[in-house]
Amino acid sequence: MRVAVCIKQVPDTEARLRVSKDGRWIEEEDLRYVVNESDGYALEEALQIAEGSGGEVIVVSLGPQRVQEALRKGLALGAARAVHLVDEAFQGGDAAATARALAAVLQNEDVDLVLTGSQSDDAGWGSTASMLAGHLGWPHAWLVMGVEMEDGTAKVTREMESGMNEVFRMSLPAVIEVQAGINHPRYASLKGIMKAKRKPIDTPTPAELGLDPAQLGAAGSRIEIVDVAFPESGEGAEMIEGDASTVAQTLVDKLQNEARVL
């Protein structure tokens, strides 16, 4: 099977974040970027499926130059080649604009399956891959916790609320959006990292994909972030300050005498 996996590079979720000067996003300088958590699981799932069927993995990402690092990681883990939508026209789009660009790439690839994470840890639209599936005319499933290939179909386990899963079969080709925790992602070997340096990364332009730049990136987006902010301080917790033993003593006192839960 030929499997494409779409990944996104996002700020490290443990990073200390600051709002940017224009107020519309976070300060990106000095931030550490990582492969989006659920996309990392999708990559592992893609590698396992390809290995199990003697196929290969193509890793695809849209984003600025820094994203090459994420693609190299995918190549080091075992993907055969990468596609990087790095052209300025692709950048800054909402889920719909990003899906349009990814669809143009995948329409040219003869793949049986597209895997990706369920939601990005930055913008978190949770929509891109479902929209991509619509462009391709393929079935999709979101929040997937298990995939098994059986007789040219995919048996999929999907999370529902309240600790329940539903299990169903869907036809291929398909777009499957996996949830973090579906597998145990591998680490790159030194050999893999060395080999990755020689693997190709294609960088198609909108024109090469037959796309109108007006339909892409920020220009092609209907959803626009006006500003971002931290939740207002003061709404919420009474903060207890001091050294550890003072804090502990104060808290116990409050739990006993104020909240009366101890």
Residues 133-192 touching other proteins, rule: CB under 8 A, are 133-135, 139-143, 145, 155-171, 179-181, 184
CB closer to other proteins out of 139 and 192: 139
Name the amino acid, one letter, at 250. Answer: T
Which candidate, 44, 16, 46, 19, places its Cα nearest to that of 31?
16
Interaction residues for other proteins, span 218-257 (CB under 8 A): 221-231, 235-241, 244-245, 247-249, 251-252, 254-256
Q: Answer yes or no whether residue 73 interacts with other proteins by CB under 8 A.
A: no
Report d(CA 164, CA 232) in Å as an integer.
Answer: 35
The least CB distance from residue 154 to other proteins, in Å, is 10
Q: Mask: binding to other proteins, 189-218, rule CB under 8 A, as x and -?
A: ------------------------------
CB closer to other proteins out of 179 and 201: 179
The least CB distance from residue 210 to other proteins, in Å, is 19
Report d(CA 54, CA 228) in Å as an integer.
Answer: 46
Classify 154 in phi/psi space as left (phi over 0), alpha (psi -120 to 50) or beta: beta
In angstroms, the first-to-last Cα distance of the chain is 58
The least CB distance from residue 146 to other proteins, in Å, is 10
Interaction residues for other proteins, span 5-34 (CB under 8 A): 11, 13-14, 16-17, 19, 26
Using a 10 angstrom Cβ sphere, with 0-12 exposed, 13-18 middle and 19 or more buried, the burial of residue 55 is: middle
The least CB distance from residue 198 to other proteins, in Å, is 33
CB closer to other proteins out of 190 and 226: 226
Q: Which stretch binds other proteins (CB under 8 A): 63-71, 76-84, 132-140, 204-212?
A: 132-140
Cβ atoms 153, 172 nearer than 8 A:
yes
Name the amino acid, one letter, at 189. Answer: S
CB closer to other proteins out of 64 and 126: 126
The least CB distance from residue 196 to other proteins, in Å, is 26
The least CB distance from residue 8 to other proteins, in Å, is 13
Q: Would you state the structure tokens that stand for residue 223, as one six-digit string? A: 């959803």
Cβ atoms 178, 41 nearer than 8 A:
yes
Report d(CA 254, CA 235) in Å as an integer.
Answer: 19
Report d(CA 51, CA 21) in Å as an integer.
Answer: 46
Report d(CA 243, CA 259) in Å as an integer.
Answer: 22
Q: How many residues bind other proteins (CB under 8 A)?
A: 82
CB closer to other proteins out of 201 and 220: 220
Q: Would you state the structure tokens that stand for residue 5, as one six-digit string? A: 């996996």
CB closer to other proteins out of 203 and 256: 256
The least CB distance from residue 189 to other proteins, in Å, is 21
